[in-house]
Amino acid sequence: MGHKPSVSETSHHLLLCPAMDYLWTPWRYAYVSTAQKTSDCIFCELPQLGDDVRARIVYRAKYCYIVLNTYPYTPGHVMVVPFAHLDELQRLPVEAAHEMIELSQRMERVLRQLYKPDGVNLGMNIGKAAGAGVAGHIHMHVLPRWLADSNFVSVVGETRILPETLDLTYERIKGGLQSAVSP
């Protein structure tokens, strides 16, 4: 009979593709292993933690708060989130909607001052079919963008490479919000 490959020889050929690079991100396991299992709303839980640094809440207003995106598209990616648990923008009271836009404008100003981006994305994904990661609680994404800020790793490898830690982003944005002057 012919040569029967060992488990290690077989595993090597089955698990790895020689033309592909691998980036190991074990810290994402906590997210991917619990993302669909959590029955409570993360946006309702965060303000209740009692520790804004741990929750990554950089600002609290009357109806909404601003929180760092834990899995940012770019450095400075924040979300403006109403305290009220609502799944549709049309259900948000006018006062809260006004505050959400005012905070989004303030964040645009802060991000432009801190990061000097070429542009800013501002938007909402309402409902799972629209791409919402947290479909039951509306929130506004505000994030700085640069020309050519996508590279082969993010396009082909579906992996983001971020040049600063979330802790540093938190400090920069919190400081920027504290020193920001309204127009």
Catalytic residue list: 139
In 3D space, the residue among 173, 183, 163 whose CA is nearest the CA of residue 142 turns out to be: 173
Give Cβ neighbours of residue 132 (< 8 Å, ≥ 6 apart): 124, 125, 126
Give Cβ neighbours of residue 168 (< 8 Å, ≥ 6 apart): none
In 3D space, the residue among 160, 163, 159 whose CA is nearest the CA of residue 115 turns out to be: 163
Q: What is the CA radius of gyration of the chain?
A: 20
Q: SS3 for 109?
A: helix
End-to-end CA distance of the chain: 82
Cα–Cα distance measured from residue 75 to residue 93, given in angstroms and rounded to the nearest whole number = 30
